[in-house]
């Protein structure tokens, strides 16, 4: 009689994933697709030198030296460093701005004749603390020029085209320099000029299903129109950085791009202890984790040309490749929102980060097949910071009672004229009342394609259902739902993030 040999079963793999401010583990089958960002590419040793060389030898048009007016005025447009999510304590954009200012001084534009214009769009206007971080400490102390924070509700904006009005500092000057990083078509380059326009123009600047392709991007079209109109009035040049993804240092170094680092986090006994801490303690710990963010290249020229070239280079360097779209994609959400100043995420900003940003960072096909499932790992609770997130709370309440898109559009029209909300925005106490609607509109391309969004680990079913999502108590039950939608075994992808790498599909 043959005695059967008992084989020891291979334990199921587990990978760690961020769910709000908690670290959860996801069971992984052999057929599942784990999407990791690539290893760090080669980085620039001296960001300032790279920026000065780019301004001296631009991709198109004249150099900075040939268009700067000696003794004239210059306006430098910068954006709040909102992307990538999360950010880093040491950001190369600060060195890029300082290098641009030094290059202007060498061209005869004195320090006190330079103006830094912060293009915040509909976001909360930056306060003194955030403004001081735009430059390295030594350069910030030595700066004698002006720092202006754009106000999209200002009545003094100047018409720049048939439908757009722009900040006077961009017209009443001898030279405009746009300093940005190439993250998406909605951020940097000509879109930075859009962020210096009126609220209606900023709100109308949208993108298509991909944030990495100009096709279908209303923001890119409007940005080119504003760029062309501005170039007819004053000299214009831009410099765009190619940034790496934020990389963890210290004990968590290597996560999530290294397999061993991910295994170390998944099996660490400290993971459970961390997840049991109070939410505010977890957020503070995550916020103080040291990230390294490096620049890998710098390009100059017309803002649109420099930005397009930097965007293409960045996608190739940071992209994670997928053979084909998956049936279900499991994505973790960060503990913070996508805007500066950083605040704890609320249901709208969580959706904006995952659906409006992470799943639109793709080139080629979308990462999820049509009718597929998004599994969003986040508690998704109704937490709105008092005062600063009042527009989000108002928009969320409007979304709960809105019966159709027309009702939501009517609510948006009312919010645009809310005198109290506009006063809070102009005082720097809250974002513009249109920003929550813009964030939610950014989710529409993904929502129109997928079959459903399941919230794994939902602790507030009302919040999930208000957004049209399906609440689920755990990742396991969410995966069962995804398999049921696929009518069998779904091909599941697990996106190890944040930070969110561009997805190269097909």
pLDDT computed for residue 10 by the predictor: 44
- pLDDT at 47 exceeding the cut of 90: yes
Q: How far apart are CA 182 and CA 362, in angstroms?
A: 14
Integer Cα distance of 316 and 265 in angstroms: 28
**Rounded to whole angstroms, how far apart are CA atoms 490 and 298?**
42
Q: What pLDDT sits at residue 255?
A: 87
Domain spans in the chain, listed from the N-terminal domain onward: 47-243, 324-506
Kindly tell me if the per-residue pLDDT of 5 is higher than 70. Answer: no
pLDDT band at 305 (very low <50, low <70, confident <90, very high): very high
Q: Give the pLDDT band (50/70/90) at residue 14.
A: confident
**Eight-state DSSP code of residue 433:** T
Instruction: Give pLDDT, residue 97.
Output: 98
CATH of domain 324-506: 3.90.226
pLDDT grade, residue 457 (50/70/90)?
very high
Q: What is the pLDDT of residue 11?
A: 52
Cis amide linkage into residue 86, ω under 30° from 0: yes
Q: Which residues make Cβ contacts (< 8 Å) with residue 16, sequence separation at least 6?
A: 23, 24, 25, 26, 255, 256, 262, 265, 266, 271
Q: Is the pLDDT of residue 53 over 50?
A: yes
pLDDT of 466 over the 70 cut: yes
Question: What residues have CB less than 8 Å from 182, skipping those under 6 apart?
Answer: 188, 189, 240, 241, 242, 243, 307, 310, 311, 313, 314
pLDDT at position 8 is: 41
Taking domain 47-243, whether its CATH number is 3.50.50.60 is answered by: no
Residue 498 tokens read as 């944040």
Q: What percent of the chain has a predicted confidence (pLDDT) above 90?
A: 77
Residue 490's alpha-carbon distances to 22, 320, 333, 425, 472, in angstroms, are 26, 21, 22, 45, 17
Q: Is the pLDDT of residue 322 over 60?
A: yes
**Residue 2 — pLDDT band, cuts 50, 70, 90?**
very low
Instruction: With residue 295 as reference, give the H or E element that holds it.
Output: strand 295-301
Question: Average pLDDT in the 169-183 region?
Answer: 97
Q: Does 212 have pLDDT greater than 70?
A: yes
Q: What is the mean pLDDT of residues 245-266?
A: 86
* Of 60, 55, 58, 10, nearest in space to 30 by CA: 10
pLDDT at 3 over 50: no
Would you state the pLDDT for residue 402?
Answer: 87
pTM of the predicted model as reported, rounded to 2 decimal places: 0.93
Least confident window among 247-256, 376-385, 416-425 = 247-256
Phi-psi region of 208 (alpha: psi -120 to 50; beta: other; left: phi over 0): beta
Which pLDDT tens digit goes with each residue over 94-128? 999 999 999 999 999 999 999 999 999 999 999 99
At 12 the pLDDT is 62
Measured at the alpha carbon of residue 286, what is the angle toward residues 285 and 291, in degrees to the nearest 5? Answer: 120
Question: What is the C-alpha separation between 255 and 291, in angstroms, rounded?
Answer: 11
Structural contact between residues 164 and 199, judged by C-beta atoms closer than 8 angstroms: no
Residue 6 scores a pLDDT above 60: no
pLDDT tens column, 422-434? 999 999 999 999 9
**Would you place residue 257 in the very low, low, confident or very high pLDDT band (cuts 50, 70, 90)?**
confident
How many CB atoms within 10 Å of residue 253? 12
Q: Do domains 47-243 and 324-506 have the same CATH topology?
A: no
Q: How confident is the model at residue 316 (pLDDT cuts 50, 70, 90)?
A: very high
Average of pLDDT values for 56-72?
96
Q: What percent of the chain has pLDDT over 70?
A: 98
Q: Which of 505, 182, 179, 181 is nearest to 312 (CA)?
A: 182
DSSP label at 285?
H
- Residue pointed to by tokens 């490096």: 294
**What is the DSSP code (8-state) at residue 124?**
P
Mean pLDDT of 210-227: 91
Q: How confident is the model at residue 162 (pLDDT cuts 50, 70, 90)?
A: confident
């Amino acid at each position: 009689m043959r005695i059967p040999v008992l084989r020891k079963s291979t334990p199921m793999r587990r990978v760690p994933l961020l769910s709000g401010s908690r670290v959860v583990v996801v069971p992984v089958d052999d057929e599942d697709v784990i999407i990791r960002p690539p290893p760090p590419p080669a980085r620039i040793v001296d960001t300032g030198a790279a920026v000065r060389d780019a301004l001296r030898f631009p991709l198109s048009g004249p150099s900075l030296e040939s268009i700067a007016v000696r003794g004239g005025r210059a306006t430098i447009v910068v954006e709040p460093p909102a992307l990538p999510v999360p950010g880093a304590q040491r950001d190369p954009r600060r060195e890029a701005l300082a290098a641009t200012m030094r290059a202007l001084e060498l061209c005869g534009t004195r320090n006190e004749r330079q103006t830094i214009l912060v293009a915040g769009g509909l976001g909360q206007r930056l306060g003194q603390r955030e403004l001081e971080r735009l430059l390295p400490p030594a350069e910030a102390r030595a700066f004698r020029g002006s720092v202006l924070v754009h106000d999209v509700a200002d009545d003094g904006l100047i018409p720049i085209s048939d439908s757009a009005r722009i900040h006077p500092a961009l017209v009443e000057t001898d030279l405009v320099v746009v300093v940005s990083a190439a993250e998406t078509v909605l951020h940097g380059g000509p879109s930075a000029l859009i962020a210096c326009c009126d609220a209606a123009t900023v709100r109308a600047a949208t993108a298509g299903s991909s944030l990495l392709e100009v096709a279908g991007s209303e923001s890119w079209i409007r940005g080119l129109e504003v760029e062309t109109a501005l170039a007819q009035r004053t000299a214009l040049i831009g410099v765009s950085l190619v940034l790496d993804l934020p990389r963890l240092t210290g004990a968590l170094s290597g996560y999530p791009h290294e397999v061993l680092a991910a295994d170390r986090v998944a099996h660490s006994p400290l993971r459970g202890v961390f997840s049991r801490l109070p939410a505010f303690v977890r957020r503070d710990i995550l916020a103080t984790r040291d990230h390294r963010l490096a620049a890998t290249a710098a390009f100059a020229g017309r803002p649109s040309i420099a930005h397009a070239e930097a965007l293409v280079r960045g996608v190739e360097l940071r992209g994670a490749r997928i053979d084909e779209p998956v049936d279900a994609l499991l994505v973790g959400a960060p503990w913070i929102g996508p805007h500066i100043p950083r605040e704890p995420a609320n249901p709208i900003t969580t959706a904006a980060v995952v659906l409006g940003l992470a799943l639109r960072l793709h080139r080629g096909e979308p990462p999820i097949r049509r009718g597929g499932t998004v599994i969003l790992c986040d508690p998704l609770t109704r937490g709105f910071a008092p005062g600063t997130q009042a527009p989000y709370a108002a928009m969320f309440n409007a979304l709960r009672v809105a019966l159709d898109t027309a009702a939501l559009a009517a609510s948006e029209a009312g919010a645009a004229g809310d005198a109290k909300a506009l006063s809070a925005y102009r005082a720097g106490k809250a974002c513009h009342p249109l920003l929550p609607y813009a964030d939610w509109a950014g989710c529409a391309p993904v929502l129109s394609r997928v079959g459903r969004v399941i919230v794994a680990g939902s602790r507030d079913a009302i919040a999930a259902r208000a957004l049209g999502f399906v609440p689920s108590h755990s990742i396991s039950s969410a995966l069962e739902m995804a398999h049921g939608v696929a009518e069998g075994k779904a091909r599941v992808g697990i996106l190890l993030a944040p930070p969110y790498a561009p997805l190269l599909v097909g």
